[in-house]
């Protein structure tokens, strides 16, 4: 069997590709390279450059490579950008996903894994406990809405056509491959840990902390940071249980422990043994005060056991990748 990874040259997609290769699976990557990098996937993995709404091309790839499952990462992910360009997000994340789902249904694929997000919960009223999947879904950004719409399409496609799927709702993905093979490489990425590391290494001037008046212990947002390698492992396990006959499911992907923005800043400072500029500024639109996952369902359905649940390791792996990128740019 071959697994098709859409967005496989991107941050999470490239980790997924390496994970599948490490497991001995056949993989083909599909990416339009708008944010992906070809040098972050194994050299022997076929890469098809195209857009997921090109149904004829996707159908040909599925047929030519004997694809039996799709792991879908392609899409846009920046919450503030989704507020200023909502139609772009509904196009990239919803309309184009609908085309891909149709291809999966027509080809009678055995499994479809979808990259969803905790943004579907919006701004939960009760943040005193980790979020469970059965909470009311009320996204406060077009990004969250666009992902929720795709979850709904998958639910309905499963009921109507028997497509077996898993939608994993990510919390804050961070870190990099501990072996140094891939990491977050988009220069202007907005991920907190990446930005903080770039500031610490002199790649950016300062780190902006958006909001210091949230109802949290230090006034800054709290997030559940999950190591990208653990997230990739969760996808691989979700894929396997679907292939083994597990019914479709939606599950949170996080550790169940949150860290504030200032706690992350402190962890980065400890890794570099020094201070760096931090600018306290106003809140951004669409940022909930706290998002922490209850991942009991994911663990019980797949047997997922995280191996990198440590903020210092997450920061260290991400920092090592940033240093690699600097060395790479210097060497040409």
Structure confidence by residue, pLDDT tens digits, 220-266:
999 999 999 999 999 999 999 999 999 999 999 999 999 999 999 99
Q: Residues of the chain with pLDDT > 70: what percent?
A: 99
Q: Residue 59: pLDDT above 80?
A: yes
Task: Break the chain into its structural domains and give their ranges.
Answer: 2-175+225-255+293-300
pTM of model > 0.85: yes
pLDDT digits (tens, 9 = 90+) for 4-48: 999 999 999 999 999 999 999 999 999 999 999 999 999 999 999
What is the helix (H) or strand (E) element at residue 266, kind and residue range?
Answer: helix 261-272
Q: Residue 330: pLDDT above 90?
A: no
143 included as an active-site residue: yes
Q: Residue 128: pLDDT above 80?
A: no
Can you point out the beta strands (E) in the chain?
Answer: 2-6, 26-31, 47-49, 67-72, 111-117, 165-170, 172-174, 207-210, 222-223, 225-227, 249-253, 259-260, 278-281, 290-291
One of 1.10.3720.10, 3.40.50.300, 3.40.50.720, 3.30.465.10 is the CATH number of 2-175+225-255+293-300, namely 3.40.50.720
What integer pLDDT is reported at residue 332 of this predicted model? 60
- Summarize the confidence of residues 90-111 as an average pLDDT: 98
Question: What's the pLDDT band for 188 if we cut at 50, 70, 90?
Answer: confident
> Distance (Å, rounded) from C-alpha 260 to C-alpha 225?
10
Tokens 């909001």 belong to which residue?
Answer: 211
C-beta separation of 50 from 72 below 8 A:
no
Mean pLDDT of the chain: 95
Give the active site residue among 89, 90, 121, 143: 143
Q: Which residue has the higher pLDDT, 79 or 74?
A: 74
What integer pLDDT is reported at residue 19 of this predicted model? 98
Handedness of CA 92, 94, 95, 101 (dihedral sign): positive
């Amino acid at each position: 069997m071959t697994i098709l990874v859409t967005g496989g040259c991107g941050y999470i997609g490239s980790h997924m590709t390496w994970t599948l290769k490490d497991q001995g699976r056949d993989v083909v990557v599909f990416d339009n390279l708008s944010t992906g990098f070809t040098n972050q996937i194994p050299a022997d993995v076929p890469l098809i450059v195209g857009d997921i709404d090109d149904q004829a091309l996707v159908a040909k790839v599925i047929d030519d490579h004997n694809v039996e499952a799709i792991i879908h990462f392609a899409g846009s992910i920046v919450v503030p950008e989704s507020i200023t360009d909502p139609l772009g997000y509904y196009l990239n994340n919803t309309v184009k996903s609908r085309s891909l789902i149709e291809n999966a249904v027509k080809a009678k694929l055995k499994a479809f894994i979808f990259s969803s997000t905790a943004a579907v919960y919006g701004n939960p009223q009760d943040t005193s406990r980790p979020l469970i999947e059965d909470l009311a879904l009320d996204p406060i950004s077009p990004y969250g809405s666009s992902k929720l719409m795709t979850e709904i399409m998958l639910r309905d496609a499963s009921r109507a056509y028997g497509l077996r799927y898993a939608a994993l709702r990510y919390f804050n993905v961070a870190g990099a491959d501990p072996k140094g093979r891939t990491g977050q490489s988009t220069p202007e990425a907005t991920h907190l840990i990446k930005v903080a590391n770039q500031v610490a290494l002199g790649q950016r001037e300062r780190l902006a902390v958006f909001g210091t008046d949230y109802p949290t212990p230090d006034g800054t947002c709290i997030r559940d940071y999950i190591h990208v390698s653990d997230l990739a492992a969760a996808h691989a396990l979700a894929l396997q249980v679907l292939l083994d006959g597990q019914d479709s499911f939606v599950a949170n992907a996080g550790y169940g422990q949150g860290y504030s923005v200032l706690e992350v800043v402190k962890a980065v400072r400890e890794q570099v043994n020094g201070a760096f500029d931090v600018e306290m500024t106003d809140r951004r639109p669409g940022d909930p005060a706290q998002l922490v996952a209850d991942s009991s369902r994911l663990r019980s359905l797949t047997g997922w056991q995280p191996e990198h649940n440590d903020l210092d390791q997450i920061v260290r792996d991400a920092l090592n990748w940033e240093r690699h990128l600097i060395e790479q740019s210097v060497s040409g």
